Amino acid sequence: MRSIIDTLDLTTQELDELIAAAEDIIAHPKQYRDKCNGKKLATLFYEPSTRTRLSFEAAMYELGGQVLSVPGADLSSAAKGESVADTAKTVSCYADIVAIRHFSEGAALVAARNASVPVINAGDGGHCHPTQTLADLLTIHREKGRFDHLTVGLCGDLKYGRTVHSLINALSRYQGVKFILISPEELKLPEYVKTEVIEKHGLAFEETVSLEEALPCLDILYMTRIQRERFDDIETYNRLKDSYILTAEKMRSASADCKVMHPLPRVNEISVKVDEDPRACYFKQVENGKYMRMALILKLLFENGEKTAQENYFHNAVCKNPRCVSSTEQELEPLFKRSADGSTVRCAYCEQIAESES
């Protein structure tokens, strides 16, 4: 039994296999329509969602399986104060596989450690969103034919945008990828992603506030929404919300094969006029997401995969991140891990730098 908390839980070979499996599903959908007969997927969504939830559910139905879900977190026992751990134990009694979206960073890891069936992270706060990355990777593969040597511009809310964190985790393992990080000062990519993902893999990145300057040199422009729900004060959100608006006019300075991606929903960061541009790929991402989720569900249900490798966790440090599940859940065992070079200690749930216990 194996769970997927981030894209790093899958090797690059496994990503290639998932892409090949999704392509086969696209080519021969009828051959897959009974594969999950008798199997049930539970969707536990504690945050709003249209695409992710519906694509998980559509994926399971198209595989011949069934879906269990609560209409919303406010109608589940979470509203009565049930912990993520207890919910995960409970749902394991009913379902064969679980997809969870939660507002706390690290909640999917808590669910995976307590469930007795595979758990898929469908987004944990501002932390990670691996199945959006699977949709993104299939899209990049179909549109560009490769992952190596791409210049990828990520634009918008790089601080709280979990899709950005997971996509960088995935792309950092390919050769010669260069990241152009386009964001306002307040919404820059978290340090741990820069140092322990991009730099650790010896890849280059540049930070800029200017979309216009970055646009001409990009192979991919990945736009993101400013994540209003993660801001503590609405004034800061209001000041930053229109930082970047991609228009048809701006697209004139992009290269002829620069692909524009966005995990959606968009608010106003891409003008609807750009939708007519053949370089716009965001609705293709939506469709690709369903096929990759079908491939992932099949892998987790039917491959005798090993349990996700157990890290060497320790307990005597303190996580001060108020958005971490270790702050929002009671009586949760604190878990910490050391960076590869031993220099930093991070919370295993949210990956923020931890403080030593005094």
From 7, 43, 52, 163, the catalytic residue: 52
In whole angstroms, the minimum distance from the beta carbon of 166 to ligand NCD comes to 9
Secondary structure (H, E, C), 202-252:
CCEEEEECCHHHHHHHCCEEEECCCCHHHCCCHHHHHHHCCCCCECHHHHC
Taking CB under 6 A as the criterion, the residue among 178, 225, 259, 290 binding ligand NCD is 225
Active site residue 52: yes
Work out whether strand 317-318 and strand 259-261 pair parallel, antiparallel, or are unpaired.
unpaired
Site for ligand NCD contains 132 (CB under 6 A) = yes
Site for ligand NCD contains 162 (CB under 6 A) = yes
Active site residue 101: yes
Distance CA 207, CA 233 (A): 25
The structure tokens listed for 152 are 């990828």
Site for ligand NCD contains 169 (CB under 6 A) = no
Taking CB under 6 A as the criterion, the residue among 102, 129, 165, 259 binding ligand NCD is 129
Distance CA 200, CA 34 (A): 43
In whole angstroms, the minimum distance from the beta carbon of 284 to ligand NCD comes to 13
Active site residue 80: yes
Site for ligand NCD contains 241 (CB under 6 A) = no
Distance CA 284, CA 320 (A): 39
Helix (H) or strand (E) holding 69: strand 66-69
Write out the binding residues for ligand NCD, residues 254-283 only, by CB under 6 A: 263-264
10 Å Cβ neighbour count for 126? 23
292 versus 317: smaller Cβ distance to ligand NCD: 292
Site for ligand NCD contains 123 (CB under 6 A) = yes
For 83, phi then psi, to 5°, come to -80, 160
From 39, 53, 129, 225, the catalytic residue: 129
DSSP code of residue 259: E
In whole angstroms, the minimum distance from the beta carbon of 336 to ligand NCD comes to 26
106 versus 123: smaller Cβ distance to ligand NCD: 123
122 versus 332: smaller Cβ distance to ligand NCD: 122
171 versus 345: smaller Cβ distance to ligand NCD: 171
Distance CA 303, CA 111 (A): 21
| Nearest by Cα to 322 from 106, 101, 73, 109 | 106
Distance CA 4, CA 256 (A): 36
In whole angstroms, the minimum distance from the beta carbon of 225 to ligand NCD comes to 4
The structure tokens listed for 146 are 């490769």
51 versus 241: smaller Cβ distance to ligand NCD: 51
Write out the binding residues for ligand NCD, residues 35-64 only, by CB under 6 A: 51-52
Residues that bind ligand NCD (CB under 6 A): 51-52, 123, 129, 132, 162-163, 225, 263-264
Residues carrying an active site annotation:
51-52, 80, 101, 129
